[in-house]
Amino acid sequence: MNKSELVDFISEKSEAEVSKTLVSGIVDLVFEGIETGLKKDGEARFVGFGTFKIAHRKASTGRNPRSGESIKIPASNRVKFTAGKELKESVNE
């Protein structure tokens, strides 16, 4: 499912008649809220759904597969998602 499919799904399932433009704006705000939570607290937790967390990767040395030359891989942050119990159970039904 991509963003436009999510917007269509929400528009169709909504009991009130809500425009796709409004739903798209709300979905954007949800994503912005998750991003803000990660930047501020290092995680965004949604009970029953799951948790987005920042994972720190240390700098390392790798190899260029074509030339075999050593390259430096800088430290970086990654976002990891851990599914909540209810989501796990739902997809395993």
Identify the bridge partners of residue 79 per DSSP, sorted by sequence position. Answer: 54
Helices (H), ranges, 1-93: 3-13, 20-41, 85-91
The residue ranges of every structural domain in the chain are: 3-91
Angle at the Cα of 7 from the Cα atoms of 32 and 12, rounded to 5 degrees: 140
So what's the pLDDT on residue 26? 95
**0.85 cut: is pTM over it?**
no
The superfamily CATH assigns to domain 3-91 is IHF-like DNA-binding proteins (4.10.520.10)
pLDDT (mean) for 65-92: 95
With cut-offs at 50, 70 and 90, classify the pLDDT of residue 17.
confident
Identify the bridge partners of residue 45 per DSSP, sorted by sequence position. Answer: 51
